[in-house]
Structures are given as C-alpha cells and as structure tokens.
Amino acid sequence: MAHTPLTPVFTGLRTGLHLLFVALCGLVIVRAFLAPTPTSIPAIALTVALLATYGCGAALARSTSRSSWLTGVWLAAVSVEWVLLVFLTAEAAYLVFPLFFLYLHVLGRRWGTLALLLATGVAICTLGLHSGWTVGGVVGPLVGAGVALLIGLGYEALAQEARQREDLMRELLATRDRLATTEHESGVLAERARLAREIHDTLAQGLSSIQMLLHAAERTDPERPGIEHIRLARETAADNLGEARRFIRELAPPDLDDHGLAGALRRLADDQWSTQGLDVDVRVSEAVDLPMHVQTALLRIAQGAMSNVVQHADARTATIALTLSPGDLEFVISDDGRGFDAGLDADRPARSDSFGLRATRERVDQLGGTLDVRSLPGTGTTLRVSLALEGRA
C-alpha cells in the first residue's frame, strides 16, 4: 500500500497482531514447561515450528515476486500446524484470535469469513475435549470471532478510504501539473503577442517610415547623383520590413482556442499563402485533439515551412497533412518547388536562408520528436515531423 496519513495506523495494527501471536506462542511454551505433560515436548517443538513458519510470512510479504499460490501454501501450513498444536495443548486455542485477522487479511471478506468460522469451530471443539464443555469455552471463541470480524471489516473500510484518498491526491497533483503547464503556455503566448505588438509599433513602423521617405526622395529627383544608393536603401528597408512583418505573423498566430490547428492552418492557406501564389492543401481533421503547446508548435512549424516555400522554392502547390496513430503523430509538409540539396544545407548551418529550418529543428527537439527533411534540386521538399504523444497509447 502507498504511504498515506493512515499508513501508521495500519502498520501499528499489523505490528500489534504480530506481537500478540508471538506472545501467545510464548505462553504456550511457558505453560508446557511449568505444567509438563506427556505432550509438552511435542507441543514446544510444534510451537517453535509454528513461529518459524509464521516468520516466513513476513519475508514473503516483503518479496516483490510473491505469488498468490505461494501465499496460500504458507497460510495452509500455518493453519495445519495450529490445528495440530491445539490438539496437543489447550492454551494454543488462544492463537485463534490473531489467526482470525490473518484469514480476513489474506483471503478477503468471503473466504476469510469462512476460514474464521472453521477456526472458531476447531477452537471450541478442542477446548471442549481438553477442559470439558463449558459456556465460556463456547462463548469465548464466538465472541472473539465476532470482534475480529468487526475489526477486520473496519480495517478494510479504512484501507479502502486510504486508497480513495491516495487516488484523489494523485488526481489533484496531476491537475496541478496540467494547470501549471497551461499557465506556462498562456504566458508564452501572451509574451509572443506582446513582442509582436512591440515589433509592429516600433521596428516595423520605423522601417515603413524610412521606406516612404526614401521613396519620396527617389521620386523627387530620379536623376540626382547617388540616386542608386537611395534606391538600394529603400529596397533594403522594404526587405527588412517584410521580414519584420513575417516575424509579427509568426509571433501572433491565429486563435487556436476557437478554431484549433485545422482551422488556423486553413485560414492561413486562404488568407495569406494563397495571396502569395501558393495553393496549400490542408489535410488536418477538425476533430483532432492535441495539447495546446503541441498545436502551437505544429502551427509555428507550418508557418516557418510555408515562409521558406514562398520565398525560396518557387512552388505552386503544397500539402500539410497530420496523421494520428496510437501513441504518436506524423506531421508532413511537402511542396512541388525547385528543392535544394538537404545534405549541403545541413553542412552549412550559418546560411541566412537556413534559419527557418534550424528553428524548426529546435521546436521539434523541444517536443522530443524527430525531424526528417528530404529534398533534391528539382524534386520539391518534404518535411516530416514524428512525435510521441503521452496518454494516447
């Protein structure tokens, strides 16, 4: 049983019963010495054997490889030794009380109760044979059996409540962890949105103003000396403005909470990628249910991949597909563009146009997945993300 607030209670009860069994066995041995009879020596030997067998049960309980049949054999051996001992000496009948709890604990309510009744009958009969039939010899074992049964049922109820509390505690801890993860994801998304606003309000606006001023200067006197430098500065500002806007789009993705991954990808395909001359086929089910951080990461990967396709691949069509199977997912992005030498790109990670691929690898690594990029000049590119999902196996 896992450790719970009631564990010390259960440990105390078991320890008390073990001590009671040992003390009663000691009583049998002492009585055999103080009042010797022809059966005293066999009774002492059998009591020692019973103690040894009972002690083996403690070692069996600690064993992680114990089996139910082995426990049954041990319990049967203890019972047989006790029955033989109780026919040798009347004092052994008192051992029936701790045996009551042993039967209830090992055999359960149904079979334990049956074993308890049989042991009660044995104790009553042996007391009658040794000391004659008396009211005390009959009522004593019956009262002991009743008390043991009530205590055993109470013990079982306490154990069940402890298990329920342990399950509830695990659920609460799991809920706390999920809440912490959700809050972290919300914080990350909020920070991304803040950065997008900051870039839009500062860097992007500044670049836009610089571009407009340079364009105005270029139109005012197109034949002035140094006009080519003004034109180059304007084109550089325009390129940087485009990059800043791309960062803003990637930092502030469509609302996944309302539309999910499939809806967000389809809106990007219709509203953004199609206006840039790229026909994107989104093969993602609307019913897909993934953790928010996984959906966000896959959306970022798709945005980065499509940005590279638009800027470098000269592709006309692309496909985004998500396949789920028990325990994992596969996210595939392919295009019909001009492709590139994937091995050569991997050998030169410092190239500016390889930043998107490096960022994708980092995202996949953070998710604990694998990334496979296959491309050759003239054959298009296929990007495949494989990711294991906990709790779906």
pLDDT tops 50 at residue 393: no
The pLDDT confidence band at residue 133, using thresholds 50, 70 and 90, is confident
CATH architecture of 259-393: 2-Layer Sandwich (3.30)
Q: Which residues contact 117 (CB under 8 A, 6 or more apart)?
A: 145
Positive or negative CA dihedral for 333, 337, 339, 345? negative
What pLDDT is recorded for position 321?
94
DSSP code, position 6: T
Mean residue pLDDT of the chain comes to 79
**Which tens digit of pLDDT belongs to each residue from 241-260?**
777 777 766 665 555 655 68
Domain limits, the chain: 1-252, 259-393
- Which whole-number Å values give the CA distances from 14 to 17, 19, 105, 257, 323, in the listed order? 5, 9, 10, 53, 54
Secondary-structure breakdown of the chain: helix, strand, coil percentages, each rounded to the nearest 5: 75, 10, 15
**Residue that wins the pLDDT comparison between 311 and 11:** 311
Strands, E assignment, 265-375: 279-283, 317-325, 328-335, 370-375
What stretches of the chain adopt beta strand conformation (E)?
Answer: 279-283, 317-325, 328-335, 370-375, 381-388
Residue 155 is encoded by which pair of tokens?
């013990």
Distance CA 72, CA 206 (A): 83
Of all helices (H) and strands (E), which one includes residue 105?
Answer: helix 96-131
Q: Say how far apart CA 8 and CA 14 lie, in whole Å.
A: 10
Residue 329's pLDDT is 92
Query: What does the alpha-carbon distance between residue 127 and residue 136 come to, in Å, rounded to a whole number?
Result: 10
Quick check: pTM over 0.75? no
Higher pLDDT, 104 or 256: 104
The DSSP H or E segment spanning 46 is helix 40-62
Q: What is the mean pLDDT of residues 173-186?
A: 77
